[in-house]
Amino acid sequence: MALIGTLLLLAIGLLAYSRLTRPPFPPGPNPLPIIGNILDITSKELWLTAFKWARTYGPVTHIRIFNQSLVFLNTPKAVFDLLDKRGSIYSDKPHLIMAGELCGCENMAAFTPYGDRARRQRKLMQKAFGPAVIPRYHGLMQMESRPFLSRLVTSPLQFQEHIRRYAGGLTLLVVYGHQVKSNDDPFLTLAEECVDILANRIASGGGIWPVDIFPLLKHLPLWFPGTSFKRNAQIWKAKMEEFVDRPYEFVKSEIKKGTARPSFVSTLLELPKLSSSPFDTSFDSSSTTDDEGSSSDRDSSFSSHDTEVAKDIITDDHDHDIRWTANSMYSASIDTTITTLSHFILAMVQHPHVLQRAQAELDGVLGSRGDGLGSSQSVANRLPTFEDRARLPYCDAVFTETLRWGVPVPLSLPHRLTQPDTYEGMHIPQGSLVFGNIWAIMRDPGLYQDPEVFEPERWLADAIEEEEAGKDRDPRAFVFGFGRRRCPGTHLVESSVWLLITSMLATLDIRKARDEKGVEIEPVVKFENAVFRTPSPFVCDIRPRSEEALRLIMEEE
């Protein structure tokens, strides 16, 4: 008994000693005993609270929820120092019991623990969406953008649904070679059901469930009161697996029939025939992200030369990786694209002078003429293409400012620290969930003058040269996340969102709606989603700029 008492005292002494000798945690609001800062956090717009902490406590904030440390990195220096430069220990993902284990999302790229599987998945995504490959999708993007515009002018108030349909259609085409022809397309319906389950059920409230805090709850039997989360998880898991398997099996059967369109999945299924190892990068089609998180571009061979599936060569790992990576890209692209384009529409509604300046630039480049109705308004002769981009600096500035002002994922996604770390004299405990506070950076008046104001002019060459800080301030360095988990969809977004924005500007007037007395209605926007800063649907007036614009939108390819 005396021995146990001595050991206990020794253990307490050692713990106290280590607490006294280790550096302090980063500053933050005072935690309560046991529950920590649970009362300080909000389920909606947590980024606003985290922004206040950043103002009060400086570049790094620490809070605690029960035993779990959460760390917010509030400056470019802090995010790059830790998430980029120390990427080898800051790239893991939280182990979420509800989302990952019970609902089966642990194999999705955004949830995969850092290690071999995550590295393989990122290599595959680089093959599909590396910068050298994107031009191959330009035709598909152009093919999908005209129907988007026509749906938009037919029912403008449903603009978020149309963006969802566009992003979903483009991703199904690029990833599985499946062309969506109607709104009740079975793959589209299944995909939308799953994205809805993921965003609004599994990840509601930030994706943290009581079982994530008290893991023992997962062992309770299904009949036990309060275990509806387990029954729901079973249903959701089955749906997610159906969404992973059905489109994948479709591509396999198309390959067998010899009718597969070249796509991410078809190419990766066929490529092993050309190499002895499925991961041999000698056939690497685009660019790879190496272990240090940097990427190198190679010549692309993302095409379909051989239509037979190499069943004997494809390993189970490879099969599993392609299946889940393909699916992850779908889920990751929808809400982010809806959010970004909704912010663009909101910005145009609120800033008519920006819309007019961008339209004038487009008319100048695309060739303009009167609309044949005696109107003085001139209108573009054709829709924009990627060849026009270099001559449209103001439109590019509108796109850049939309990313900065809208901040689609304001706290990025959490990275998990795999070992204790010390940063500028502060102790960051192992297992901390680390958030890049993109919102605080994009609203930092030291980086962006009047950060609340939507002002594309800040991105025009002269303004940037004047400040000599263009590169460090480019929102693209932040809004897509950091280090080895940085968004692999950036190059796709760079093209697909640019094309949609310029096509809308060229053909549509986007204004405030008016009530029956002709008075302008101010759009009212709320942000309900815990992860994405998606504006709630708002009223606005979207219509073709002229008869000529309507003809351009409706004309068949």
Q: Binding site membership for heme: which residues?
A: 487
Report the sign of the C-alpha dihedral through residues 454, 460, 466, 469, in that order: positive
Shortest separation between residue 418's beta carbon and ligand HEM, angstroms: 15
Smaller CB separation from ligand HEM, 463 or 477 = 477
Per CB under 6 A, the segment of 19-27, 303-311, 344-352, 406-414 that binds ligand HEM is 406-414
Task: Give the chain's length.
Answer: 557
485 binds ligand HEM (CB under 6 A): yes
Q: What does the alpha-carbon distance between residue 139 and residue 147 come to, in Å, rounded to a whole number?
A: 14
H/E run at residue 433: strand 433-436
When binding is defined by CB under 6 A, the residue of 156, 489, 535, 544 that contacts ligand HEM is 489
440 binds ligand HEM (CB under 6 A): no
One symbol per residue from 238 to 267: x for binding ligand HEM (CB under 6 A), - otherwise; what is it? ------------------------------
Per CB under 6 A, the segment of 316-324, 452-460, 481-489, 510-518 that binds ligand HEM is 481-489
When binding is defined by CB under 6 A, the residue of 31, 104, 130, 488 that contacts ligand HEM is 488
Shortest separation between residue 171's beta carbon and ligand HEM, angstroms: 6
Distances (CA, A) of 64 to 31, 334, 383, 385, 411: 7, 32, 52, 50, 17
Smaller CB separation from ligand HEM, 64 or 486 = 486
Q: What does the alpha-carbon distance between residue 284 and residue 297 come to, in Å, rounded to a whole number?
A: 10
When binding is defined by CB under 6 A, the residue of 31, 207, 272, 481 that contacts ligand HEM is 481
When binding is defined by CB under 6 A, the residue of 337, 368, 402, 437 that contacts ligand HEM is 337
Q: What is the CA radius of gyration of the chain?
A: 25
Distances (CA, A) of 51 to 77, 135, 273, 410: 16, 38, 52, 10
342 binds ligand HEM (CB under 6 A): no
Using an 8 Å Cβ cutoff, are 69 and 435 in contact?
A: no
333 binds ligand HEM (CB under 6 A): yes
Smaller CB separation from ligand HEM, 109 or 500 = 109
Using an 8 Å Cβ cutoff, are 150 and 398 in contact?
A: no
Per CB under 6 A, the segment of 1-9, 39-47, 179-187, 404-412 that binds ligand HEM is 404-412
Using an 8 Å Cβ cutoff, are 57 and 27 in contact?
A: yes
When binding is defined by CB under 6 A, the residue of 97, 265, 322, 493 that contacts ligand HEM is 493
Shortest separation between residue 203's beta carbon and ligand HEM, angstroms: 13
Q: Which residues are CB-contacts of 11 (< 8 A; sequence separation ≥ 6)?
A: none
Shortest separation between residue 520's beta carbon and ligand HEM, angstroms: 29
Using an 8 Å Cβ cutoff, are 74 and 93 in contact?
A: no
Buried b / exposed e across 347-383, counting CB within 10 Å, b at 16+? bbbbbeebbebbbebbbebbebeebeeeeeebbbeeb
When binding is defined by CB under 6 A, the residue of 79, 345, 409, 417 that contacts ligand HEM is 409
Using an 8 Å Cβ cutoff, are 314 and 251 in contact?
A: no
Amino acid at 329: M
Distances (CA, A) of 83 to 76, 292, 531: 10, 11, 19
Total residues in contact with ligand HEM, by rule CB under 6 A: 27
Shortest separation between residue 387's beta carbon and ligand HEM, angstroms: 23
Of residues 122 through 141, those in contact with ligand HEM by CB under 6 A are 122, 129
Token digits of residue 165: 């349909």
Smaller CB separation from ligand HEM, 311 or 476 = 476
Shortest separation between residue 456's beta carbon and ligand HEM, angstroms: 17
When binding is defined by CB under 6 A, the residue of 75, 289, 336, 502 that contacts ligand HEM is 336
340 binds ligand HEM (CB under 6 A): yes
Per CB under 6 A, the segment of 20-28, 270-278, 488-496, 511-519 that binds ligand HEM is 488-496
Distances (CA, A) of 1 to 9, 11, 80: 12, 15, 52
Per CB under 6 A, the segment of 199-207, 214-222, 311-319, 483-491 that binds ligand HEM is 483-491
When binding is defined by CB under 6 A, the residue of 203, 309, 413, 540 that contacts ligand HEM is 413
Smaller CB separation from ligand HEM, 50 or 380 = 50
72 binds ligand HEM (CB under 6 A): no
487 binds ligand HEM (CB under 6 A): yes
When binding is defined by CB under 6 A, the residue of 98, 99, 109, 348 that contacts ligand HEM is 109
H/E run at residue 479: helix 476-479
Q: What does the alpha-carbon distance between residue 294 and residue 476 come to, in Å, rounded to a whole number?
A: 16
Distances (CA, A) of 372 to 167, 351, 556: 34, 28, 21
Smaller CB separation from ligand HEM, 156 or 489 = 489
Using an 8 Å Cβ cutoff, are 91 and 483 in contact?
A: yes
Shortest separation between residue 350's beta carbon and ligand HEM, angstroms: 20
89 binds ligand HEM (CB under 6 A): no
- The single-letter DSSP state of residue 136 is G
432 binds ligand HEM (CB under 6 A): no
Give, in degrees to the nearest 5, the angle at Cα 132 between 129 and 493: 45
Q: What does the alpha-carbon distance between residue 295 and residue 119 come to, in Å, rounded to a whole number?
A: 12
Per CB under 6 A, the segment of 65-73, 227-235, 331-339, 362-370 that binds ligand HEM is 331-339
Annotated binding site: 487
3-state secondary structure of 188: helix
328 binds ligand HEM (CB under 6 A): yes
H/E run at residue 255: helix 228-257
Q: Which residues are CB-contacts of 154 (< 8 A; sequence separation ≥ 6)?
A: none
H/E run at residue 56: helix 46-57
Residues that bind ligand HEM (CB under 6 A): 109-110, 122, 129, 328-329, 332-333, 336-337, 340, 408-409, 412-413, 415, 479-482, 485-489, 492-493
